Chain A
Amino acid sequence: MAHATQVGLQDATSPIMEELITFHDHALMIIFLICFLVLYALFLTLTTKLTNTNISDAQEMETVWTILPAIILVLIALPSLRILYMTDEVNDPSLTIKSIGHQWYWTYEYTDYGGLIFNSYMLPPLFLEPGDLRLLDVDNRVVLPIEAPIRMMITSQDVLHSWAVPTLGLKTDAIPGRLNQTTFTATRPGVYYGQCSEICGANHSFMPIVLELIPLKIFEMGPVFTL
């Protein structure tokens, strides 16, 4: 989860998110360079003493400032596509969980080895204990094992929602009548938070997602989701 005044990305909990953080640093650096260049040019424009208004035919300069942005775009596109294809790699998930969005809660179905289905509602403010995370904590968390590829099948039962967990680099729309798939592998145990990311009505801000990632040995011991 983010702390109160956080601006940057949360620390990564999956290898894809680590890649995304590096890519973000790379793209942001390019953005800063371009912005600085433009600000500098603007400053020069505002403080120049020159008054020639008949400048034309600067073919060499025009060629450069066409080719150079094209190169910059390629330098952004290549790492981006690399990560995009990385997310689609064949990884043979160990577990498949279904996540169904409702107004205004999530339903999770663990049907690989049995039939576990439960709802996950945000804890109302009156039900919070001191120290709980307001607007983030839920009654039933999604308990999953670490270091195992997990497939999430995401859909919705009514309107559009979006299932997002920033620290895993996940955000997948929940669309009624459609099954969207996303996979991830968590590298460290912990409790990870996300919030519904597609406007879905009055309580759109009040249907969070909470994943509890635990070691596989403990996960295998059976239903442990209301500890």
Chain B
Amino acid sequence: MLATRVFSLVGKRAISTSVCVRAHESVVKSEDFSLPAYMDRRDHPLPEVAHVKHLSASQKALKEKEKASWSSLSMDEKVESLCFLLHKCGFGEKWLNVAEEGAADLCACKWLSSLPPVYRIKFKESFAEMNRGSNEWKTVVGGAMFFIGFTALVIMWQKHYVYGPLPQSFDKEWVAKQTKRMLDMKVNPIQGLASKWDYEKNEWKK
């Protein structure tokens, strides 16, 4: 547990998301997977429970106000009230549709950084927040490049300390004589080697 705490310090999600999630205990509150749990998932828009189970005093007051007629709400409170939000979006009393990404983007994007408290009672993150990208790719790419580089070092060491010399037939003169012989034999004269040689001018075709 202590080790994963370290990761939370780095927690810009620059390394493994799952490891960082483990460090944040608020997400892994319930270990009993048979009970309904809250989750922020794109394909599961309506979690079985609300995010906040125990309402504070101000939150309870807001909920009571929401039940009454909305005309009694001030402009700010209208902005804060989730139900009014939905009504403005044209979804009427069907609060279910708040979870549709389209609606969320349409209405909630304007209030992205300051989503109303009523929303936050029901949901932990907005769709935009839960779908945000991360910096994990930089770590992955960097790690991959590092290990490729390390492999190159290993290969260089092998070439110097392990492998014997190349056979004679790799010497430049040998390869030159060999190529000349292959051209004399007209090896692959249709599309291959000999087809690239100009036999009249005695040079490679341009």
A contact set with B: CB distance below 8 Å? 1, 3, 6, 10-12, 49, 51, 53, 125, 128, 130-134, 188, 190-191
Contacts and interface: CB of A to CB of B under 8 A. Distances in A.
Contacts of B188: 3, 10-11
B178 A1 contact: no
Contacts of A190: 185-187
Contacts of A49: 101
A3 B173 contact: no
A11 B189 contact: yes
Interface of B: 42-43, 101, 167-169, 171, 173-174, 177-178, 180-182, 185-193, 195
Q: Which secondary structure dominates chain B's binding surface? A: loop
9 contacts: A1-B187, A3-B182, A3-B193, A10-B188, A10-B192, A11-B189, A130-B174, A188-B186, A188-B189
Contacts, number: 51
Nearest to B43: A51
Contacts of A134: 167-169
A1 B190 contact: no
Given A53-B43, A131-B181, A190-B185, A3 B190 contact: no
Contacts of B189: 11, 188
Contacts of B171: 130
A62 B133 CA distance: 35
B178 A131 contact: yes
A161 to B, nearest CB: 25
Contacts of B169: 125, 128, 132-134
Contacts of B190: 11-12
Nearest to A10: B188
A64 B107 CA distance: 41
